[in-house]
Amino acid sequence: MNSVNNASRLGYRLGVESAETAAEVRSTYRHGDLRHALLAAGLELARTGGPDAVVLREATRRVGVSPNAAYRHFADRAALLAAVSDAAQGLAADRMSDELAGVQSSADSATTARLRLRAVGRAYIDFAQHDSGLFRAAFTVPGDLRDAFGPAKAGRDGRSPFQLLAAVLDEMVESGTLERASRPGREFLAWSAVHGLAMLVIDGPLRGLSEDMIRDARERLLDMVDRGL
């Protein structure tokens, strides 16, 4: 996904009228939209530098307001980072939804369910690989699973990454691919597997692999997840 498309999605999620670039957000926010503008600036900081780059003072500088003005919307850096993390998860959910939309339905519901599970996992790893700063902000900032269903983490279809994963697992149960008795907790197993590969690719010893090698590792991992469930 290129930066223009990402920025457009930021505009969709944040309610900004014009969002082809972060600079537009910076220059066109109106009174009352300062929180949105600061959040958009924070997301751009995360995109280029991950969660460590999200600094409230730098966000205010980019938007063009004093740090004191920001405190009406974010009490401190931690508050801004939490909001950035939530919004980045929403962008990950959008990536998953796009991948799901490309899955062709089969006459065999079990085949379709398996393909949809693979689509969610593939999108997660691709998001990590190609938007690593946002991925780190989304999934390495400390949080709590109790918030995994929060609307702030939802993509444009109203579901968070965790909810999208849960939904495709439910589809596997309905298609007879996954036994109902085995369904509880399978989100954690599938998520752990794809997250582990994603982190090895962006921050671990697999980051030197070629695109073809990463793609092969991803598809083999998704085979393993499918069989293991």
**134 and 210 share one domain:** yes
The structural domain count of the chain equals 2
Looking at 75, 108, 125, the residue that finishes a domain is 75
Same domain (yes/no): 41, 94: no
> Minimum mean pLDDT among 66-80, 141-155, 199-213: which range?
141-155
User: 159 and 64 in one domain?
Assistant: no
**110, 209: one domain:** yes
93 and 186 housed in the same domain: yes
Averaged pLDDT, 76-85: 96
Specify if 83 maps to a domain: no
32-37: Cβ within 8 A, 24+ apart: 34/63, 34/65, 34/69, 34/70, 34/72, 34/73, 35/73, 35/74, 37/63
Question: Could you list the residue range(s) of the whole structural domain that residue 143 is in?
Answer: 88-228
Per the model's pLDDT, the better-predicted residue between 147 and 53 turns out to be 53
Q: How confident is the model at residue 3 (pLDDT cuts 50, 70, 90)?
A: very low
pLDDT of residue 10: 53
Burial class (CB in 10 A: 0-12, 13-18, 19+), 75: exposed
How many Cα neighbours within 13 Å face the side chain of 133? Answer: 16
In this predicted structure, the answer to whether residue 161 has a pLDDT above a threshold of 60 is yes
pLDDT digits 0-9 by tens, 165-201: 999 999 999 999 999 999 999 999 999 999 999 999 9
Does one domain contain both 161 and 96?
A: yes
Q: pLDDT digit string (tens) for 88-147?
A: 999 999 999 999 999 999 889 999 999 999 999 999 999 999 999 999 999 999 887 777
- 57-75 confidence digits (pLDDT tens): 999 999 999 989 999 899 9
CATH number for the domain spanning 168: value is: 1.10.357
Q: Looking at residue 127, what is its pLDDT?
A: 98
| One domain, residues 117 and 182 | yes
Q: Point out the domain boundary residue: 23, 54, 75.
A: 75
Q: Based on the fold, state whether residues 92 and 159 are members of the same structural domain.
A: yes
In a domain, 171, yes or no: yes
Q: Cβ-count burial of 37 within 10 angstroms (0-12 exposed, 13-18 middle, 19+ buried)?
A: buried
- The pLDDT score that the predictor gives to residue 149 is 84
Q: Do 62 and 110 share a domain, yes or no?
A: no
What per-residue confidence (pLDDT) applies to 53? 98
Given 32, 47, 75, which residue is the final one in a domain? 75
The answer to whether position 82 is within a domain reads: no
Same domain, 71 and 97: no
State the pTM of this model. 0.85
Q: How far apart are CA 227 and CA 214, in angstroms?
A: 20
Q: Which of 14-28, 44-58, 64-78, 139-153 is least confident?
A: 14-28
- Position 19 scores a pLDDT of 41
Assess whether pLDDT exceeds 80 at residue 22: no
In this structure, the answer to whether residues 60 and 39 fall within a common structural domain is yes
Instruction: Tell whether 165 and 203 lie within a shared domain.
Output: yes
Higher pLDDT, 138 or 30: 138
